[in-house]
Amino acid sequence: MINRPKILNKGIEKHDEHPDESHGIETLSVHAGARVDPATGSRSTPIYQTTSFVFDDSEHAAELFNLQTFGYIYSRISNPTVSVLEERIAALEGGRGAVAAATGHAAQFLTAATLLEQGDAFISSSNLYGGSITQFGTSFPKLGWTCHFVDGTDPHSFEAAMNKNVKFIFCESLANPGSVICDLEPLSDIAHRHGVPLIVDNTLATPYLCRPIDWGADLVIHSATKFIGGHGNTMGGVTVESGRFDWFQNDKFPGLTKPDDAYHGITFAETFGDFGFTMKMRSVALRDFGPTMAATAAWNLLQGVETLPLRMERHCSNALAVAEYLNAHPKIGWVSYAGLRTSPYFELGKKYLRKGAGAVFTFGLTGGYEAGKNLVNSVELFSHLANVGDTRSLIIHPASTTHRQLTEEQKIAAGAGPDVIRVSIGIETLDDIIADLKQALTNT
């Protein structure tokens, strides 16, 4: 007969080596959330390729379904391989708990679904990944959720857009694509003064460069598809909860502070305290809407996250050198990279991104739209595709691709005007990256 808890306990007692907050980010990237496999002793986290988990008996099953005990039921809701990734990202971000989802967009959707009722609204910086502008501006309204877009570089514009229906503020710490840095401290002050959480998409900065919770963020979202996985081979998303937001301070969040009929009257923020949001997002939004991360995807992303600090260090040093090269090139009109002294975001970068300004940035060719098209057609080492945060160097013309669905006005507001080229600098040999741009620019 299967006696799962005993096997688990044996493993944990023998081998528990959970790193804590005192460990450095390199240690957490390798170890956080992972234990030696209790069943086999496997050192690498196994892929628990299973849909469901056997109950000890009917009482155990009932307790699991009532959320009276922690454990695994069905992989739509939770899975041991996925849990390791969730715990690891939570540790890297300095958060209390995390929920993974199939993609970054799924994490954003489940987060909104946990906080918003029909008729609710939120305020978002307009300096966003193009897909997020479409999700918030076009699809969310069909669910009765309104997004007020404001100038992400001006905290006053968030204050001015506040009203009683607003349930959160959303921004990207380092915005995709233009290397715009949001001033997180004043944004968290504004959110908290109005009794709502600040949600930060930390995809491009990663916890290696910035931990938004340290600056007052309440929830942090990742497209793990990008630097967390880092190899351009796996989709994923994660939402991390800080554990610090007081959901009971007002009546804005009935989903967390009022009894939930679907769980025999559990009040999530009361029963689960500082991880009430995480439990609600998992046990209600993820359970009912279902965009779950697969165990194999979590495993791929775990391989990536182990080297996150090493990769980010190289991504950042390569990106700064490439930005400097382009900035001095006669065919380049401007470069928007927060690591350059000439950037309006240089000072904010020194404050929020102490170890580098990331690897994604934009520039414009003096030859405009046509020159941009020629450049993306002439590169050889760079790949012309719609992704960022790969080990490989990537290039794209956002106006005709990622930001294509937006109006001209929205494109410009999002930093994706007609002359703009976006690059994501990889971890290849710097001289090779620059040589490729050099030859491609000669042809444009």
Residues that bind ligand PLP (CB under 6 A): 103-105, 129, 131-132, 172, 176, 201, 203-204, 223, 225-226, 235, 237, 388
Closer to ligand PLP by CB, 237 or 364: give it: 237
Separation of alpha carbons 324 and 430, rounded Å: 12
Indicate the residue among 107 and 266 with the shorter CB distance to ligand PLP. 107
> Rounded to an integer, what distance in angstroms lies between the CA atom of residue 318 and that of residue 139?
37
What is the C-alpha separation between 151 and 159, in angstroms, rounded? Answer: 11
Do residues 108 and 238 make contact, with C-beta atoms less than 8 angstroms apart? no
Report in angstroms how near the CB of residue 226 gets to ligand PLP at its nearest.
5
Question: Closer to ligand PLP at the Cβ: 79 or 223?
Answer: 223
- The alpha-carbon radius of gyration of the chain (Å, integer) is 22
Closer to ligand PLP by CB, 29 or 203: give it.
203
**How far is the CA of 177 from the CAs of 198, 315, 360, 387, in angstroms?**
21, 16, 7, 11
- Report the nearest approach of ligand PLP to the CB of residue 132 (Å): 5
CB 144 within 8 A of CB 190: no
Nearest distance, CB of residue 135 and ligand PLP, angstroms: 8
Instruction: Using the minimum distance from each CB to ligand PLP, give the nearer residue, 187 or 279.
Output: 187
Q: Which is nearer to ligand PLP, 276 or 415 (CB)?
A: 415
Beta bridge partners of 219: 199, 241
Beta bridge partners of 200: 171, 220
Least distance to ligand PLP from the beta carbon of 79, Å? 19
- The one-character DSSP state at 293 is P
Q: Which is nearer to ligand PLP, 106 or 279 (CB)?
A: 106
As a residue count, the chain comes to: 444
Q: In Å, how far are 50, 136, 267, 303 from 410, measured between CA atoms? A: 44, 13, 40, 37
Helices (H), 251-307: 254-257, 268-271, 276-280, 287-289, 295-306
Dihedral angle, C-alpha 33, 34, 35, 39, nearest 10 °: 120
Instruction: Please report how close the Cβ of residue 202 comes to ligand PLP at its closest, in angstroms.
Output: 9
* Nearest CB to ligand PLP, comparing residues 95 and 104: 104
Element counts in the chain: helices (H) and strands (E): 19, 12
Residue bearing tokens 């904010």: 348
Residue whose C-beta lies closest to ligand PLP: 104
Helix (H) or strand (E) run with residue 433 in it: helix 430-442
Two structure tokens written together for 444:
């444009």
Strand, helix or coil at 219? strand
Please state the closest distance from residue 103 (CB atom) to ligand PLP, in A. Answer: 3
Residue 112 CB, shortest distance to ligand PLP, in Å, is 13
Q: Which residue, 396 or 440, has its beta carbon nearer to ligand PLP?
A: 396
The distance of closest approach from Cβ of residue 203 to ligand PLP in the complex, given in angstroms and rounded to an integer, is 4
State the nearest-atom distance from the C-beta of 336 to ligand PLP, in Å. 16
